[in-house]
Amino acid sequence: MAVPRIHFSESLKALNQEILKMGTLVEEAIGKSISCLIDQDIELAKKIVDDDEAINQKEIDIEDRCTILIATEQPVASDLRHIITALKIVTQLERMGDHAVHIAKAAIRLSEEVYMKPLIDIPKMSEIVIKMIHDVLTAFINSDADLAIETAKMDASLDKLHHDVMTEIWGYLKADSRYVKQSTSFLFISRFLERLGDHVTNISEWIVYSNTGRHVELNRIGYYSEESDAEGNDSHS
Amino acid sequence: MDYKLQVQDLNVFYGAMHALKSISLNIESKRVTALIGPSGCGKSTFLRALNRMNDIIEGVVTTGTILYDGKNVYNGYDEIELRRRVGMVFQKPNPFPMTVYDNVAYGPRIHGVKRRREIDEIVERSLRAAALWDEIKDRLNKPALGISGGQQQRLCIARVLAVEPDVVLMDEPTSALDPISTARIEDLIYEMKNRYTIVIVTHNMQQAGRISDHTAFFLDGVVEETGSTQQIFFKPTNPRTEAYISGKFG
């Protein structure tokens, strides 16, 4: 009795695959941006900047795909929510790709510097971000709102590490003014990684919307909300 | 909530076939209620029950209560008067083989309106209300069967409106029409709901989404789900409703 709309179902699966591909590109770009920062690999950093074009193009392709599905298939209910969520997710992923570029550009600026200390917390932050991206994409593909909510909870670890990095760098700045350039760059990089966690949280919120039709605000009060407010942080914008 | 029609525990049998099974559904006043569901699910039977059109089919047995303005349609109204107040538009335009004018004038005349000027006013008012006047005012004495399908359907709506109904039942009124004629009828329905309570059966999900305030999903003679159209099309609670409206079932 049940007659699936085979073509539409296949189109939705293909849409999911494209988002997965875009997410994988972003995940790789972030991982590589931290690698080139650690290794001071200027060539890899330049490649990340160049490769961002592919992520931007993927966003456009997926948006067009969604537009055509809405126009030709007139989706309703969960199908409609899924497509709207896909549109929202690609916007977040594109911005995340931009953050990878910002980190890579910082790596280029720091490529001739002798680092004031070994990088410890920043690589930890990148590992958390990459796991969050991986998990949130799994949650999207499997329509798993619970996993999306659990993924968003990991954002608190990023906020704490960002706080730790800031505190440490302020200490270095007070002690030795030679480190102003490095310190500023590392502060920004930490901030980019913290923002990546916010973008993943936004994606999690859209997955919950897709599954339930409800708008939720996950991690409204983050670990370091006071500091964030002091920075004028629009943490979940 | 102001209900124009209140249906309680309605059962309709065609001989041994149990077509409607304990339907309870309220129809809100001056709103458009869409009835959706696969063929044979009981939508049209339900629609016809509302003005006792099933009574003219041999072997039909109806039980339960249908209140129209608080009175039972089976003993509170004369059936001719009931059908004047609860009019019906059918799937295929069915103008009478007479002029455009006489089609619209037919109902008022059999209800006793005799003065020519009064009938002229009713014809013009009804054709205007059916968004047909401007197109047809110079062809009132032409045969109704000679106008386009979309115009014929609006003429049928004008014919219903001419007897000043309160409720208009529509059984797939645009399924035989092209997209432009369909859009005109949909615009008309949108305007009509300021004055009339409308119940429409449609197989076009997008049409139900566009024009109705409430939607009831019928399946196998049962109302599976009813609610605001926004709720039904955005987040239905019944998985069978979701499967049906998204075209994966039925």
Task: Tell which of B41, B232, B246 to mutate to test the A interface (max A CBs under 10 Å).
Answer: B246
Q: Contact A136/A207 with Cβ under 8 angstroms?
A: yes
Nearest-neighbour CA in chain A from B219: distance (Å) = 12
User: What is the pLDDT confidence band of residue A228, given thresholds at 50, 70 and 90?
Assistant: very low
CB contact under 8 A, A80 and B235: no
Q: Is B222 on the interface with A (CB under 8 A)?
A: no
Whether the complex's predicted ipTM is more than 0.85 is answered with no
Find the mean pLDDT for residues B127-136.
94
Nearest-neighbour CA in chain B from A125: distance (Å) = 38
To which CATH superfamily is domain B3-245 assigned?
P-loop containing nucleotide triphosphate hydrolases (3.40.50.300)
pLDDT at B68: 97
Nearest-neighbour CA in chain B from A82: distance (Å) = 11
Find the mean pLDDT for residues B63-74.
96
In DSSP terms, B63 is beta-bridged to: B11
pLDDT at A64: 96
User: What is the pLDDT confidence band of residue B248, given thresholds at 50, 70 and 90?
Assistant: confident
Report chain B's mean pLDDT, rounded to a whole number: 95
Nearest-neighbour CA in chain A from B226: distance (Å) = 15
Find the mean pLDDT for residues A194-208.
98
Does residue A231 register a pLDDT over 50?
A: no
Percent of chain B with pLDDT over 90: 91
pLDDT at A223: 39
> Which of B206, B234, B249 lies closest to A3 in CB terms?
B249
Does residue A163 register a pLDDT over 60?
A: yes
Give dist(CA A98, CA B141) in Å, integer. 71
- Dihedral-angle region of residue B123 (phi above 0 means left; psi in -120 to 50 means alpha; beta otherwise): alpha
The CA–CA distances, whole Å, from B105 to B123, B152, B193 equal 6, 15, 23
Chain B residues whose beta carbon lies within 8 Å of the beta carbon of residue A4: 248
pLDDT at B27: 98
Q: Give the pLDDT confidence of A76-98 residue by residue, as tens digits.
A: 999 999 999 999 999 999 999 99
Helix H segments across chain B? 43-50, 79-85, 100-110, 116-129, 133-136, 149-161, 179-192, 205-211, 229-234, 239-245
CB contact under 8 A, A81 and B248: no
Percent of chain B with pLDDT over 70: 100
Does residue B250 register a pLDDT over 50?
A: yes
Residue A65's Cβ-side half-sphere holds a number of Cα atoms within 13 Å equal to 22
Nearest-neighbour CA in chain A from B225: distance (Å) = 14
Does residue A236 register a pLDDT over 60?
A: no
Find the mean pLDDT for residues B74-91.
94
Chain B residues whose beta carbon lies within 8 Å of the beta carbon of residue A213: 234-235
Q: Contact B12/B61 with Cβ under 8 angstroms?
A: yes
pLDDT at A4: 65
Task: Tell which of A11, A70, A76, A80 to mutate to test the B interface (max B CBs under 10 Å).
Answer: A76
Q: Give the pLDDT confidence of A27-75 residue by residue, as tens digits.
A: 999 999 999 999 999 999 999 999 999 999 999 999 999 999 998 888 9
Find the mean pLDDT for residues B220-242.
95
Q: Is B228 on the interface with A (CB under 8 A)?
A: no
* Rg, C-alpha atoms of chain B: 18
Domain ranges in chain A? 6-230
Q: Contact A122/A34 with Cβ under 8 angstroms?
A: yes
Does residue B202 register a pLDDT over 60?
A: yes
pTM: 0.82
CB contact under 8 A, A77 and B246: yes
pLDDT at A220: 65
Q: Give the pLDDT confidence of A4-33 residue by residue, as tens digits.
A: 678 898 999 999 999 999 999 999 999 999
Domain ranges in chain B? 3-245
User: What is the pLDDT confidence band of residue A235, given thresholds at 50, 70 and 90?
Assistant: very low
CB pairs under 8 A between A and B: 40
CATH fold of A6-230 reads: Methane Monooxygenase Hydroxylase; Chain G, domain 1 (1.20.58)
pLDDT at B17: 95
pLDDT at A177: 83
In DSSP terms, B214 is beta-bridged to: B33, B228
